[in-house]
Structure 1
Amino acid sequence: MDVSVRAARPVTRVTGGKALTKGLPAAAGVLAGAAISLTGLAFDAQWHSDVGPDTFFTLPHLVLYSGTAISGLISLFVVLATTFAARGGQIADPAVGGRPVGVLGRRFTAPLGYLTTGLGAAAFLLYGLWDLWWHSLYGFDAVLESPPHIGLLLSISVSMMGALMVCAAAGRRRWAVIGQFVGGALLVAFNAVITLGLAPLNGLVNAVSVGVAFLASLVLLTVASSTGRAGAVLSTSVVMTVLQLALWFFAPWAARVYAGSIGLPMRDNLYGAPTLPGLMPMGIVVTGLAVEGLLLLARRHAWPASRAAAGAGGLGAVLVVLLIPVQEAVTGGAATPGAAQLAVTGAVAAVVGGLGGALGHRLGLLLANISRGSEVTR
C-alpha cells in the first residue's frame, strides 16, 4: 500500500463534556478487553501448570478470546462510525483514538489507536483458527509454547498497544492519564509470560529476568514520557502490583474450581507461586520509587531528557533482576543464584534497561503526539 503524508487539515474538535463522553466509553471498553485477556491468560497459564492438557474449547481459552473480541468489536464500531462521519463531510476529532488514517484505498477512515487494536484482534482471530486446527490434529495441548499460542499472545500484545495509543491520543485528561497507567501495567503483566521464550538462553545470564527487566523499563518510561507526569512510573507500578495481587489469588482458585467442575484431577505436589503472577516482578513498586527519585534528580539538575530516561531505565532494570531471585526464594523456595550470575545478569540488565529507557522515552513522545501532526493516508 502506498503511504503519503499530507499537510494537516483544520480539524473541528469536539470539546468539553461531549468530547469526554465520546472518547471515554470506547477507551474504557478496549482497556476492559485487555484486562479480560490478561485474566484469561493467567487462568490458562495456571491451568497448564496445575492440571495440564487442554482442548480448544476450555473456559480459560474462552475468557482469553472474549477479551480480545471485546476490544476488536469496539474498535470495529469506532472505525465504522468514523468512516460514516467522514463520508458525511465531518472531520473526526483526533483526540478520539488518534489521527484518522485512510485504509484500503481510503475506503475506511480509522483512528490510529483503534486501527492498531483492531488489527491485533484480527490477527488474533486468524491465529485462533490456526489453534483450532492445531487442536484438531494433536488433540490435547499441554504447553503454552505451541506456535499458534505464540501468535495469539503477540496479537493480544498488539491489541493492548493500541489501547495504550487510544488513551494517549486523548491528551492529558485525567481519565486518559489513568488509562495509560492501566494500559502500561497490563502490557508489562501480559508480556511477562512471553519472556519465558528466552529460557533456552539462560546460563551465566538469566535471560528471562533480563527480558522482564527490559520490558518493565521500556513500558514504564514510555508511560512517563507520554503522560509528562511526575509519578507516572510509580503510579503504573502500583497498578501492576494491584493486578498481580488480584491474579495471585484468582488464577489458582479458578483452575481448581474449573477442574473440579469438569471432573479433572489436579497435579500432585503443587507448590510455589502462581504461574503468571509469579513471573511479574513483585518489587516493581520499589523499582518505581527508585526510578522516580532519579527522574526527580534529573529534572532538578536539568539533565537531557533522553539521558535521564536511559539512566532511569538502566537503574530500574538492575533493581528488577536483583529482586527477582529474592522473590523466587521467598515464594517458591528457589536457590539463590551465585554472585557471578547476579553480577553478570545485573550488568547486562543495566545496558539493556538503558536502551529500553531511551527507546521508551522516544516512544512516549510519539504517543504524546499521536493526535497531532500530519495526516497519514494509506
Structure 2
Amino acid sequence: MHATPRPRRALFLAGAATTALILTGCSGGAEEAEGPVTLTFAASTFGDPGLGPRLQAFVDEFNASQDGVIIEPASVPFPTFGQTVLTQMGGGEGPDLVRFDMPEFSTAAAAGLLEPLDDVIDAAELGLQPGPDEYLFVDDARYGVIHDTSNYVMFYNADLVPEPPTTFDEFLATAQATTQGDVYGLAFRQTQAEENGVWQDIFNYVYGFGGQWSDGENLTLDDPKNVEGLEAFQTMYDADVIPKGADAATFRRMFAQNLVGMELNNGGYVVATKGTNPDLNFSVAPIPFPVRAQGAIMAPIVVNANSEYKEAAYTYIEWMLQPEQQQKLQEALGAASMATPTERSAESLEEMPFLTVFDELTNTSAPQIVVGFGPQTPEIRSIVVREVIAALQGQQTMQEAMERAQAEAEGIVGAP
C-alpha cells in the first residue's frame, strides 16, 4: 500500500551558491558543520570490477557540482555487505547513505534503522515507475527510492539459438535441440551450496507461472501455481539439458565460451558477459513463461536514521533523481533500469540494441523477497530451496515439497 503523499519539503540543493553550513538531522537538535559535509555512501556496486568505477565516476560528478556536500564510498566487502552494514546501523553508526538489496532493506525498515522519506520523495512529481516503487513502503511509510533495478530476462547465444523461444514448450524444445556433446541448452543453480542463487532461479518459474510466495499477509508456498512453476523447473532439470553440479561461476564461463545456449539472469550479467568475452554473439528476450512476471534485483537507496547529515543526504538523492542524472546513472550501470523512465542513448542502443527489453519489464518485475515477510525471507528461502532440491533429487514430489515448506515456514512466521 502506498502512503498518502505529504507536502514535499523545500528542496535542499547544495549547488554553487549554497552555503557551507549544513543543518544536521540529529534528534538532539540541529547542529552546524563548518565547511563541506562529508557523507559516506555504502553500495556493493563499488566493489564490482566492471560497474564500480562507473558508479564512482557518477559520484565524482556530484561532488564536482557541490560546494557543501562531498560523497565518499564506504568500503564494505560484497560477501558480508548486508550483515555488516545492518550491524553497524543497529549499533547507532554506519554509512549515511546505503544502496541496499531488498531483503536487507526490509530488515532495516522494520527495525527502525531508516529515515522516512515521505517528505522528501513525491512519486507523482518525479514520475517514479510504479512497479518497483510500491515495494519501498513499510506500514505506509516510505523508506527508500529505487537506485537501480536489474530485471531478469533470458540470455541466449545467438549462434546456438538463432530464434529465442517464446513459450515454455519452445523453451524446453530449444534446450533439448541445443544440447549436444559438450554444449548444453540451458544452465541454472541446483545445489544447496548456492541457496541464494537457486532461490533467484526458481523465483522466475514461480512468478512466470502465475504464482507468488505470499498474498502480502499470509504465506502461500503450496499454492497450485507455485507448484506448477516448480514442476516446470524440474522438467528442465530432468530433461538433462543443463550441466548438473556446475556452479554459477562455471556455467557462466561456459556461456561465454559458447558451451551454454540459454540462461535466465539479470541486467548486471551484461557487463560481466561482455567483459569475459567481448566477441560473444548474445542477446536477450523476455523469459518465455505463461505470465509476464519475473524477478529483479531491486536496490533502493536509503538514509541511515543515525546520520547526522540527513539534509545533505537528501541532496544527493534529489540530484540523482533529476532526469539528466537518471540517464547518466543508467549509462553507468549498463542494463539497469532507473527509478524513473529513461531514454537510452543512440550510442548505447547501437552497441546493445537489446537494452530496451530490460526497461520494458520494469513494471512487471518483483523483488526476490517474500512480500510481507521481508525480514524472514532468508529463513523461508532456506526452507524452500532445501525442499525443492530434495524434489529434484527424487526424494519427494514438488507438491509434497511445498506442503512441507509451508508447514515449516508457518512455524517461523506464525500460522494465520
TM-score scaled to structure 1, two decimals?
0.27
Question: What TM-score do you get using the length of structure 2 for normalisation?
Answer: 0.25
Q: Give the helix-richer structure, 1 or 2.
A: 1
Higher strand share: 2
